[in-house]
Structure formats: C-alpha cells, structure tokens
Structure 1
C-alpha cells in the first residue's frame, strides 16, 4: 500500500522558540486543534507558554482559538498537566480531564524543601533562578455544565521518584476511560499502570499493567486502542528500540506480559488509530538516520505489523535544536540501527551511561486522525536544517 502526500504545513514556527510535543483535538466538521508549549529553550519539562491553534481547512492554515469547549483549553494548574492529561467529553455537557499534574516552577531557594518532600526536581530550561518540580499526583476534574465550573480531586502515589501520565488514553465502547501511566520508584524499578475509570467517569482506580518490575524500561509512553469490544492493544516506547506490545481482553483490567514488535522506533512513542477500512495505523517519530516521521499498518487488529511497507511521511529531520552547537551531535552514531545499536544501548544501560540527549535531534510525538474524506492528518514536531524546533503537519492518503 502506497501513500500520497496532499500537503505539508507549518503549524507554528518561530526563531528562538522551542515548540514541541503537540496534542491534537479532532473536533466537529473536520475542525482540528493543536496545543503545545512555546518555550525559550529546549524544554522536556513542558513548562513554557501553552498555546492552542485551530484549523478549519485540514491543516493548511492555523489561528489562535480560545474556545473553552475545545479540550485543549480546559483549565489546569500547570502547563505540563495540559500536555499529559487525557480529556473526554461524555456528553455535550459533561467534560472529564484526568492524568498527572506535572512540573511546577519553584524558586531555586526551595530546592532542599522539594527534595525533602520526595519531589523530583529538574533545572528550569531557561530561568536559572527557578527549578522544575514534580510531585507524584494523579487527578480527575469533572464539569457538568460545559466547562463553566469544575470539581477536582487529587491523589498522591507514594514510593515513586517520578510518575507521569501520557496523553494517548482512550474511552472504551462500554464507557471506561483508560489512561497510560508510567514511572520509576525510589529503588529505580520501572512500573506501568492504567488510571482507569468506571463507565460514568466518577470512580477511578490505578491498575498495574503486568506483574513485573525491572531496572529496564520494558514499557514507557504507551498508546492505547480498543481493537474490538473489550480487547485493548497497548503499544509503547521502551529501552530496546522496538515498540513493546501488550494486550487486555477484559476492558483493561488485566494485561499480558509485554513482547517486542518488529516496529523499529528508538526513543520515540507511538500513536494508534483505527481506520475506517479496519486497519490500525501506528504513527511515530523515527529518531535514527534518516530522521523523520513514519507510519506502519496492521491488517489483523495489531497482531502483526506490515513493517516491510513502512510509510515515510518525512525524512528531512535529524538536526539538533538551535540550543546546541552542531559538533555536540555524533552524526555517525545516529546512523546505527539493528543489533549494533541495541548492543551499544544495552551497554549504556548496564553502565548507567545513557546516550546523551544531544544524540537524539528533536522530532516525533506524532499524532494522527482520519478526516471525513478518509484522508489522514498527522501532526508532530520536527527540527530541520535551520535548527528551529517547530510544530508541523502532513495531510496524506493511502492509495
């Protein structure tokens, strides 16, 4: 199966602004909205200025949209919460937002206080007098009047160094909301969970995904998709380079042990949607040379993936963001793949010497949706030769 590019567009791009990690809302009548953080330096804490842009022409043009019925505009105490949460409209009046709270900016003088409370701290990307602080707090927020007022609850998860939700959740046909959560406990073991609701979204449970612990990240940022009634597929980023796959056959209550797929996508999370022809589309950033945005199809509900016919949407990335000098990137290392890459990565993991972030030029976190005419809209962030990290999109179709 081949693809045809209809158009590529820049959603937002500005010199001196680091724009990354887009979140996509698909609205009525093919209206699209994208939310992202505008930061003044390379920012993986997502702590900049939250921005929502909307398009009514399939992504050709974009403008600011502050409509409060757009889930991206629903209130939140932190920018990172807006990026990590899952949002669901149960009806025209009832809205639900849930996930983890994310990073808060604190004055650096309070760093010892944050550490004493067991909070995870990280240098603020561009303000030296601040730090980014994260506690392990889950939340739900419910509005029954179209977002005019909200009822919020929060829960702290003990024993963890860091805990994060990932905005690739789903609502099942029976009504339950499933939100992927992952983190590292204070002993260094990795864990995966689901923040799972009942059908009306009022009661929530944190459910362990897999009865295992590991000092390797077998699963991380996960995308969820109900492939058939009661059957849920989870595909996730991990430390092995190939996506990990796990299944639930009971509406997300229990899960199979993760296995590696044949989809090669190191350092990059997947996005899953089901197309109208029954195929499953997995879209992802490809962070090895030649870097760009790729997609792969499954024609059997995710049991196998047609990697021989991988779809290349972009392959013009591979440049470090303007925050770094060119020589900080080992371009030869970026060409390594397959067994040699896994050998080097495994050695780094064992020795706690992970490949530096500068060896992973910024792109990815792709999201896709199918439009009413069956074309596919994919958005992502990417850094080209001008080294301005920005949000872009591609409208394409399968031949």
Structure 2
C-alpha cells in the first residue's frame, strides 16, 4: 500500500478537490448493488440485455417509423415527427395525439414556392412562437454550391410551409447536421449543431454502401455463409469539424459560432482528426455541452460558456463508441443528463460489430460520471463497455479487390456474424411528459436475407433510464461536487 510521506505538502485547492472526489466516490458506492443495470445481488440471476434491457417496460415498439427522425411538440399538445420513409425521397411528417403510441399516415409537403421540402437523412423540427413550427432541410446545387442548410417555417402547425431561408452561406465545403439536434436555450436562442466536411479527392478509398463495395477495399464478414458489408462509413476518409448556427429571432436570421472550428488535434502525431455530427444540450443557463462522433474509439465533448457563440477544444469522454453519432439531453424532472449512442468497444469493433448496440446512460455530475447504462437495441450482451486506448480501431474483416494482395488478418477476430446482425445508429431522443421517444435506423436483414432500413421507434417511461423509479431521486449534492468550470 502506498503511503503519503509526512513531509509532503498538499496545496489547499488540491486537498479540497481530493475531498470532493473521495466524497463522490463513497456517495456513489453507497448506492449499493442493483442500481446500475447488470449489477445485482448474489442471489439475483443475470438478465439478458438482448435485444434490450427490460423490454417489458417499453410502452411501444413501432417498426417503419423513426429513421433519421426529428420531433417537437406542437402548440395543440400533439407530437410532430419528421422522418425518412423507406423507398421515398425527402422528409415525411406524421403526428401523434396519444403521446407517441400511434401515428397518422406520413405526408410530404411543398413550400409556398411549389418546391418539395428538401432534406435526406437528417431531419430537424422545432416549435416556434404561436402555432409556428420550423424544419431544417439540406440540399445541394452542384459542385459550385455544395451541401447547405435551409430553414422552413410554418404558421399553422405544419400544414403549410413558407419558402425557406438559407442558414449556411455559400462556401467551398459541405455543411450538414445529424437528425433531431436543433433546440432552444433558456434565453430563447435556437441552436443548430452542425458540421462542415470535405472529401479526399482520391479514388479507391475504404468505403462501403450497404451490400455493394464502392471501392477496391471494404469491411465485412460472413453471415449465414454469405459476405455482407459491415463498414457503415467506419473508414470513410471524409474530414469533419463541428460548430453551431444560432438564431435569436425564431429562425429568420442565422449566425455561425466563431473563434475556430471544433476538431481533434493530436499533438503526439501532429495531425488533425475529425469530430462531426454533433449533438448539444444546455446544462446550465449559457453553458452548453456538445458531444461528437469521432474515429478514436469514444465520443468527444466540447463546452460553450457563452450560449453557443464560442467553443472549447474537444476532449474525450469515457463513453466507448464506434464512428457513429450520439444524442445528449437534459432529463425533465431530475435535471440529469442523458446520452443515447452506439456503444461499441475495441474488441467488438475488430470483430465487425461496428453499430450493433444502441445504449443509454445517465449523468448526475454534468457529464463527469455516467451511470445507469441500458441497452435500447442490441445484439450484444453487456450494457457498459469500457473504451480501449484512444485511437482508431480497424476491423479485421477487411477485403480487397481481385488484383490486390490479400491483407494479413488476425483470426481471433474473424467471427461469423449472427443472423440477427444489425446496425443501430443515428438515434433521436425526445422527451414528452413522462416518457422518452427514441428512434433509430434499425438496419438489418430480413428472413429472406434482404437488407432493409425501415427505422424503429421505441417509447420508454423515463424511469426505465434509471433502472426504476426508486433511482430517480434528485442528488444536488453530487452534482455540486462536479461544477462546470473553464
């Protein structure tokens, strides 16, 4: 056992921080077994977390809805969902009048100028003043005016739409968002987490598109004896950086955050790395937490202390993740933070399970410590995965073209993929009264071995996030031990 020497002097501030951390440790430890899903007493049998943790508590599980979805509550109390309908182009809208348990038929709309509402794969809606609602779409006008964002406005609960205003100005790089990330801060400001991107102008990159290899190399594995792609952009060479657009007049005019873009700088290798597809939440007035997708085996985070106008350099979180986006929210009633993300560890990624587990976790410490890990959708057991060393993990199932030399691969990680293989990613997370609505891609194979991505919407009581209502008690003392400071 290591002991402090009598002549060691600990500064007062260090003693204070040490006391706080020790107090937090004992406070969390005192909760006892059974609080975090997967932890149980010696006499309690271990329950399966596949296909989800405690599925009997789900209020609804709806297939064919929820892919790339965005949600908002309308002025009449109903829920509006914009989402992707399989086999159709552009956004489709549906409403629910029973708290998300059933939905109207999907409808596609045109703006006042006669053009269909733009957008594909990243839908965002937000409630505006009166009976207003806003929708963010993305479009491109060719190589001279690449991917950019538009804001549409409706003044009648989404029944008719005005011609859009442009959010992102013309520029040489593409601009995009992920779905369900737009939100309003306590000041009334609308925040739209966004990212810029540029692609490598070289053919033959490691990329896959569903079941077809689009380059001379791809990632995949054998399912039922047949090769399928597992890449899901895991080795996409596109470089991304994060920022936000914000509006102080209900979406009529937009500004971009300033002070530099948010991406990862690795001082060891003197290189940049992408940080894209951000989601953000106001934790305290003016203090906003952003989480981002990276290629470094975990989610990264950045903070703003001026209501989204400038951002700190990103740093790693303790949340294991493949290259897939997350959603972060503040939980009504408790004020705790929620994260919903594709949780995958390094060993699982090497085996090809790149997006095989969609999880949730709660933080009562402003994002410092995460607890109450649950699986929302998974083909893998376990609800909490410890991330490996920070760095890129390449799956072993890499294949190359017929004229190239086959790569050396580690057979320990070349496993047959299960019939239930899926990609659970691009979640949405919407709190409505006593429940949480979570949508995701639900990309999978049918019994006829056809690859489909119909989307899935799961409705959960908020208590499910904590492993039960008994664990939802507010703990202001614990939160105060981890204040948000620059």
TM-score range, shorter chain: 0.5 to 0.7
Contact 1:225 1:232 in 2 (8 A): yes
CA shift, 1:58, in A, is: 4.4
User: Which one has a bigger Cα radius of gyration?
Assistant: 2
Change (3 A) 1:82 1:242: same
Contact 1:174 1:199 in 2 (8 A): no
CA shift, 1:37, in A, is: 2.4
2:176 matched to 1:138?
no
CA shift, 1:139, in A, is: 2.9
Q: Which residue number in structure 1 is paired with residue 175 of structure 2? A: 163
Gaps of 5+ in 2: 1-34, 38-52, 201-237, 266-270, 399-406, 408-416, 469-486
Q: 1:315 & 1:186 partners in 2: Cα distance?
A: 31
Q: Which residue number in structure 2 is paired with residue 124 of structure 1? A: none
Q: 2:391 & 2:422 partners in 1: Cα distance?
A: 16
SS of 2:394's partner is: helix
Match of 2:134 among 74, 83, 96: 96
Match of 1:381 among 441, 446, 449: 441
Higher strand share: 1
Gaps of 5+ in 1: 14-18, 41-46, 67-71, 105-113, 120-134, 319-334, 354-358
Q: 1:382 & 1:103 partners in 2: Cα distance?
A: 27
Q: 1:281 & 1:184 partners in 2: Cα distance?
A: 27
CA shift, 1:300, in A, is: 1.8
RMSD between superposed Cα atoms in Å = 3.8
Return the TM-score normalized by structure 2. 0.57
2:310 matched to 1:254?
yes
Return the TM-score normalized by structure 1. 0.68
Matching of residues 1-399 of structure 1 within 5 Å: 1=35, 2=37, 4-5=54-55, 6-7=57-58, 8-12=60-64, 20-27=67-74, 31-40=78-87, 48=89, 50-64=91-105, 66=107, 75=111, 77=115, 81=119, 83-84=121-122, 86-98=124-136, 101-102=138-139, 114=142, 117-118=143-144, 135-143=146-154, 148=160, 150-154=162-166, 156-160=169-173, 162-167=174-179, 168-185=181-198, 190-208=240-258, 210-211=260-261, 216-275=272-331, 276-286=333-343, 288=348, 289=353, 291-306=356-371, 309-316=372-379, 338-339=388-389, 342-344=392-394, 361-372=422-433, 374-386=434-446, 387-396=451-460, 397=464, 398=466, 399=468
Change (3 A) 1:361 1:241: farther
CA shift, 1:317, in A, is: 8.1
CA shift, 1:250, in A, is: 0.7
SS of 1:342's partner is: coil
CA shift, 1:270, in A, is: 0.9
Q: Single out whichever of 201-210 and 295-304 deviates more from structure 2.
A: 201-210
CA shift, 1:35, in A, is: 3.1
Change (3 A) 1:392 1:189: closer
User: After superposition, what is the alpha-carbon deviation per residue over 1:99-127, rounded to whole angstroms, capped at 9, x for unaligned?
Assistant: x52357xxxxxxxxx4xx435xxxxxxxx
Contact 1:30 1:371 in 2 (8 A): no
